[in-house]
Amino acid sequence: MAVSYKELGLVNTREMFAAAIKGGFAVPAYNFNNMEQLQAIVMGCAESDSPFILQVSSGARKYANQTLLRYMAQGAVEMMKEVNPHLRFALHLDHGDTFELCKSCIDNGFSSVMIDGSKYNFEENAALTKKVVEYAHQFDVTVEGELGVLAGIEDEVSSEKSHYTQPEEVEAFVAKTGVDSLAISIGTSHGAMKFTPEQCTRNADGVLVPPPLRFDILEEIEKRIPGFPIVLHGSSSVLPKYVKIINSNGGALKDAVGIPEEQLRKAAKSAVCKINIDSDGRLVMTAICRQIFAEKPAEFDPRKYLGPAREELKKMIIAKNENVLGSAGKGKLIWGDK
Ligand code: G3H
Ligand code: 13P
Ligand code: ZN
C-alpha cells in the first residue's frame, strides 16, 4: 500500500528552497546508508537548527533495504520532535535513473526525487523528467532534474569526463519538464578524487589546488531562469584533515582533492540552494575508524569506533551548516511559528 510522506511528517523541498533563495544560503543534502550516519545528520542539523535533505541513492536503498530505510526516516522524524520540534526535513532519492525507481520512492514515503537523465540527449532527458514530474506532482512530491554531466566515479554514478551545462538549454528544459529544481555541471565532481593532479596547480606548500568552479556559467543560468532553485552535486571539500588521518593510519588516498569551501560559500549565496555532500561524511567515518583501529588494536565493540565516528561526523555537519552553507539557524526562520 502506498505511503504518503505527509503521513510520515516529512516535507518536500519547496518551502526550504524558497527560503534559501531569499536568504542567500543553501540547504545541505547529506547522504546516508546506515544508522550512525543518520543519527549524525539528524543531530548535527537539529543542533545547528538547519533545514536539511536526507538523501538516499539507489545503492543506499539496496544496501539498507528500502522498507527499513523508510522506517529509519520515519524514526528520524519522531526523534526530531524531541530534539528540535519545529525543524522539518525532506527525504530525497539521489540520482534516480528510471521512472519506475522514482515512482517506487514516491509510493514509499519520499518527499522529493531526483531523476537523473543526464546520460541521455536533451529531448530524451526532458521527456523522462516530465514523466516523473507529472507523477510526482499529483502527490506534491518535488522533483530535481539534471542538465550537464559531472565527472567522477561512485557505485551507481559514473562518468569519466564532465560536460558543463549549456546555459542556453536551461529555460526550455525547465519549461518543458516542470521540474522544481535543476542540478547543473559547473566543475564539481563526485567522489574523493575530484581532479587529476594534471588538472590542478600546486600552492607554495605543494598542496594541489583544483581548477575554480565556472561561476560565469552559473551567472548565465541565473540570468535565464531568475530565482529558480539550482543544485550542486559533487560538492564535498575532501577535507585535508581527514585524508591525512586516513593516510597516516594505513589508508591510501593519494591525490584526494575536493571543492574549496570559499567556492561553496560563494555558490550558497547565489541561486544554488541545495548542495550535495556524501564523500566528506565517508571520509570522516573512515578516518576515525582507522585511527581507533590503529591506536586500540584490541577494540572489537563496534560502538567504540562507530560512536566516535558518528560524533565527529556530527561536528563536521555543524561546521558545514554554520560556516559553509549558511543554513544554521534557518529552521526557526522557516518553521519557528509552526
Ligand atoms: O552522487 C552519488 C552519491 O554520492 C551516492 O553514491 O551510489 O555510492 O551510494 P553511491
Ligand atoms: P560528493 O561525492 O562530492 O560528496 O557528492 C555527493 C553527491 O553529489 C551526491 O549526489
Ligand atoms: Zn550526485
pLDDT at 23 (0 to 100): 98
At CA 119, angle to CA 67 and CA 122, rounded to 5?
115
Q: Is 292 helix (H, G, I), strand (E, B) or coil?
A: helix
235 lines ligand 2 (CB under 6 A): yes
Q: Is 79 exposed, middle or buried (0-12, 13-18, 19+ CB in 10 A)?
A: middle
Q: Which of 118, 101, 127, 115 has its CA nearest to residue 158? A: 118
What are the distances in angstroms from CA 20 to CA 37, 46, 49?
A: 24, 17, 14
Å from CA of 165 to ligand 2 middle: 17
Instruction: Choose which CATH entry (3.20.20.70, 3.40.50.10090, 3.40.605.10, 3.30.70.870) describes domain 5-335.
Output: 3.20.20.70
What pLDDT score was predicted for residue 298? 98
Low-confidence ranges of the chain (pLDDT < 70): 152-162, 337-338
pLDDT, one tens digit per residue, over 203-218 is 888 888 999 999 999 9
The residues that bridge with 53 in the sheet, in sequence order, are 29, 90
* Ligand 2 close to Cβ of residue 144 (< 6 A): no
300 CA to middle of ligand 2, Å? 31
Judge if pTM exceeds 0.85. yes
User: Is 180 annotated as catalytic?
Assistant: no
Catalytic residue among 49, 94, 116, 180: 94
CB 49 within 8 Å of CB 332: yes
| Strand pairing category for 201-202 and 208-209 | antiparallel
CA distances 230 to 182, 233, 258, 272, 305, Å, are 5, 10, 20, 4, 37
- Residue whose CA is at the smallest distance from ligand 1 atom 8: 155
Residue 152, pLDDT score: 64
Q: What is the pLDDT of residue 155?
A: 45
| DSSP-assigned states of every residue in 244-297 | HHHHTTT---TT-B---HHHHHHHHTTTEEEEEE-HHHHHHHHHHHHHHHHH-T
Strand partners, 257: 193
